[in-house]
Amino acid sequence: MDLREIRGQLRTSSSVVFFGGAGTSTESNIPDFRTAGGLYNRSDPHDRKPEQLLHIHTLLNEPETFFTYYRTHLIHPEAQPNKAHRVLANWEKAGLLDTVITQNIDGLHQKAGSSNVLELHGSAHRNYCMECLRPAALDHVIQSTTVPRCTHCQGMVRPDVVLYGEELDMDVMNRAVNAVRSADFLIIGGTSLVVYPAAGLISVFSGRNLLLINKEPTVYDDRARWVIHDSIGEVLSQLAQ
């Protein structure tokens, strides 16, 4: 793979967008529960899958079960941005990158310094009371031993993340679609592209410069101008040189 060609194209493109999946965060030691080696088959005593435990019905009907699982597997306050996050933040500051679109809820892009980040699945760092809608701190959710309660009205506090059984935030999704549609260089990293809405986003990209970086092959490899099956942190670091 000749990275010089990609590097040159990156620097002369007018709008570069990065779209990242769980693989962007696994290099910060955050497990991907959708891929092999992730959280599957390490479920609760009832042997339910993450899709069931992280379902809106579980939050509403069995909140203790939900929060026990959520706190253990979805919150990683100690995680630090990796090379991929840092390169992308530097590119944004240098005016080389317009938008980061992510399926992750860990806030690591912002922690690395990115500011134009579209979080398709929300963020674990935002939490709010389901009754009075007042915001609550992530620490409050972490420190509650059972179900986190609002300090004002005792309503249940929930994370502002899109759970199974819930719709995506259409405003965020529309902004992501517009960003991809107007991009002339799209980097997709760390996603197998099988989970909605990833497949939908790639379909609105009409430019020629599609770079796919994923450790495993994806169903869209044929459509990309460049495909690199490697660590996203390593590849972006090399591109940044």
Interface with Zn ion, residue 44, by CB under 5 A: no
Which residue, 199, 217, 195, is CA-closest to 34? 195
Stretch that binds Zn ion, among 18-26, 71-79, 152-160, 194-202 (CB under 5 A): 152-160
Binder of Zn ion out of 39, 74, 129, 210 (CB under 5 A): 129
Near Zn ion by CB under 5 A: residue from 97, 100, 120, 150: 150
* Residue whose tokens read 């495909």: 227
Residue 63 C-beta: closest distance to Zn ion, Å: 15
- Specify the 3-state DSSP secondary structure of 61: helix
Residues of this chain, 154-193, that bind Zn ion according to CB under 5 A: 155
Q: How far is the CB of 62 from Zn ion (least distance, A)?
A: 21
User: Minimum distance from CB of 219 to Zn ion (Å)?
Assistant: 44
57 is catalytic: no
Choice between 129 and 232, CB closer to Zn ion: 129
Q: Which among 122, 113, 115, 103 is positioned nearest to 162, based on CA atoms?
A: 122
- Establish if 131 lies at the interface with Zn ion (CB under 5 A): yes
185-189/157-161 β-pairing: unpaired
If one asks whether residue 1 binds Zn ion (CB under 5 A), the answer comes out as no
Q: Which residues contact 154 (CB under 8 A, 6 or more apart)?
A: 131
Is 17 a binding residue for Zn ion by CB under 5 A? The answer is no
Q: Is 152 near Zn ion (CB under 5 A)? A: yes
**Among 1, 94, 132, 142, which residue interacts with Zn ion (rule: CB under 5 A)?**
132
CB of 149 to Zn ion, least distance (A): 8
> CB of residue 158 vs Zn ion: minimum separation in angstroms?
11
CB proximity list for 100: less than 8 A, separation 6 or greater: 17, 18, 19, 20, 88, 92, 109, 114, 116, 117, 118
Give the Cβ contact number of residue 114 at 10 Å: 23
With binding defined as CB under 5 A, does residue 153 bind Zn ion? yes
- Confirm if 141 and 159 have CB atoms less than 8 A apart: yes
Give the nearer residue to Zn ion in terms of CB position, either 151 or 178.
151
Give helix 83-93 / helix 232-240 axis angle, nearest 10°: 40
55, 85, 121, 125: which one is catalytic?
121
Query: At residue 135, what are phi and psi to the nearest 5 degrees?
Result: -70, 150
Which residue's CB is nearer to Zn ion, number 31 or number 155?
155
Asked whether 42 and 72 are in contact (CB, 8 A), the reply is no
Binding interface with Zn ion (CB under 5 A)? 129, 131-132, 150, 152-153, 155
Residues with catalytic function: 121
